[in-house]
Amino acid sequence: MKYKTLKGLQDILPPEIAAWHHIENKARDIFRNYGYQEIRLPILEATDVFIRSIGETSDIVEKEMYTFQDKGGRSVTLRPEGTASFVRAYVEHHLYNDPSPQKFYYLGPMFRYERPQAFRYRQFYQIGAEAMGIDDPKLDAEIIAMLSKLLHSIGLAGLNFEVTSIGCKKCRPDYRTALKSFLGGKLDTFCGDCQRRYDANPLRILDCKVPSCIESRKGSPPVLDYLCGECRDHFESLRGYLDVLNVPHTVNPNLVRGLDYYTKTAFEVSSENLGSQSAVAAGGRYDSMVAEFGGPSTPGIGFAMGMERIIPLIQDSVSKATGPDLLFCPLGDKASEKAFVLTEQLRAMGIWGEMNHESASMRSQMRKANRIGAKNVIVLGEDEIGKGEITIKNMTDGNSIKSSLVASDIFKIISQHK
Ligand code: HAM
């Protein structure tokens, strides 16, 4: 029987992993500079965690969640995103008691049963950050600036930062009324999902991907025209602070997020080089979620970036994983025993050492050394063992250096030619 990965899932194999490490290391460095601490959350949560926050009428909750009953009959869901899980943990562990802002980051897999296509997977990895407890627009600007710094330090170019405000509980009812009166007259031109959402949550109609719905909603009133004074001030201040921090951005009044929990600031970063799935990162403010989860009213803002969309953009510029610092090519049993001990001694000193285990000719051993990208090679035969002297061949410059057959001497030479 042949097994294959499930549709929309993928194995990440070693040649690609250098790019993953590159991104993760840059992220950890930059998060540290900004005071974000790592939080590790379960992949599985009670289904309600997502329904309550992402929203019953969102595509994610309606169509895309991996939900099943566990053996105890509880409905559980593989997390489709990190923010809801994070807020659940934030409230459960009373993290709001720590001095504000509390800043966290996470990395790991998310699951959405979407139609797979280029750069869209059913299991995908996000790196996300969340900052809690402060509703000052300076924090919005700071987190967007941090994201910009991170994406640029990873090596991305051609990015477009789009920002908008989607209002708050105070101004949303007015916007909802205006939107309903615009859409109401032509409701029969919308898909069944949108017709259903018209009463339950008309804002979701703005997120529908059906081409006829996109056409029919053209000219709908922009949410920015309906912001209350507080939201408008917040948005204007955010834009000013982004200028202060030198983050070029554009206002996109049509930016719609697929999650219901956002208030005020929403943003998306897209790449010119990705085609239709161009969002590499997105986020926004969610000032009501903590209270809705039973905690004290606490504002929050965050983002998440999609690893699978960033990897292809940097793959060629990140050097591929390299081979061992040293490969022993022993000729015969005695040499093999000696190489076995030396390899282990050199590893203890911090050298990545390997040895050939199969007895093969010197030529085929050298071929293998080239294939695995060994940086240095020692051919070890009866002669070398008898004399206690070996030659270390550097595979990059082709030079050879003599050494005694003692691990510490070999170490000195290899550590200069790693
Ligand atoms: P999101 O916009 O749903 O936001 O996802 C963030 C990023 O994850 C997207 O911009 C994209 O790069 C990546 N992504 C999403 N779905 C897929 C997929 N099927 N395949 C590959 N990549 C994907 C959130 O998840 C929010 N939790 C962000 C946030 C954090 N808001 C506040 N805090």
Question: If you take atom 17 of ligand 1, which residue's CA is the nearest one?
Answer: 120
Alpha-carbon torsion (287, 291, 297, 301), positive or negative: negative
Question: If you take atom 13 of ligand 1, which residue's CA is the nearest one?
Answer: 306
Decide: 165 and 266 in contact? Cβ < 8 Å: yes
**CA 41/CA 158 separation, integer angstroms:** 33
pLDDT value of position 26:
97
Helix (H) or strand (E) holding 263: strand 263-271
More confident residue, 16 or 135: 135
Does the Cβ of 55 fall within 6 Å of ligand 1? Answer: no
pLDDT value of position 170:
94
pLDDT value of position 318:
82
pLDDT value of position 59:
92
pLDDT in tens, 193-205: 999 999 999 999 9
Q: What separation in Å is there between the alpha carbon of 268 and the centre of ligand 1?
A: 10
**To the nearest whole number, what is the mean pLDDT of the chain?**
95
Q: Which CATH superfamily is domain 17-171+227-314 in?
A: Bira Bifunctional Protein; Domain 2 (3.30.930.10)
C-alpha R_g of the chain: 28
Does the Cβ of 163 fall within 6 Å of ligand 1? Answer: no
Q: Per-residue pLDDT for 320 more than 80?
A: no
In CATH, what number does 326-415 get? 3.40.50.800
pLDDT in tens, 347-393: 999 999 999 998 888 899 999 999 999 999 999 999 999 999 999 99
Q: Given pLDDT bands bounded at 50, 70 and 90, which one contains residue 418?
A: confident
SS3 content of the chain, % helix, strand, coil (to 5): 40, 20, 35
User: What are the contacts of 224-231 at 24+ separation with CB within 8 A?
Assistant: 224/164, 224/165, 224/251, 224/253, 226/167, 226/171, 226/174, 226/175, 226/178, 227/165, 227/167, 227/171, 228/167, 228/168, 228/170, 228/171, 230/168, 230/170, 231/165, 231/167, 231/168, 231/170, 231/171, 231/264
Q: What separation in Å is there between the alpha carbon of 60 and the centre of ligand 1?
A: 11
Share of the chain above pLDDT 70, in %: 100
pLDDT value of position 321:
65
Does the Cβ of 114 fall within 6 Å of ligand 1? Answer: yes
More confident residue, 264 or 276: 264
Predicted TM-score of the model (pTM): 0.93
pLDDT value of position 286:
98
Mean pLDDT computed over 34-58: 97
pLDDT in tens, 96-152: 999 999 999 999 999 999 999 999 999 999 999 999 999 999 999 999 999 999 999
pLDDT value of position 207:
87
Does the Cβ of 79 fall within 6 Å of ligand 1? Answer: no
pLDDT in tens, 208-241: 889 999 999 999 999 999 999 999 999 999 999 9
Question: If you take atom 30 of ligand 1, which residue's CA is the nearest one?
Answer: 303
Please state the φ and ψ torsions of residue 194, each to the nearest 5 degrees: -65, -40
Q: What separation in Å is there between the alpha carbon of 257 and the centre of ligand 1?
A: 10
Decide: 372 and 353 in contact? Cβ < 8 Å: no
Q: Where are the domains of the chain?
A: 17-171+227-314, 326-415
Share of the chain above pLDDT 90, in %: 90
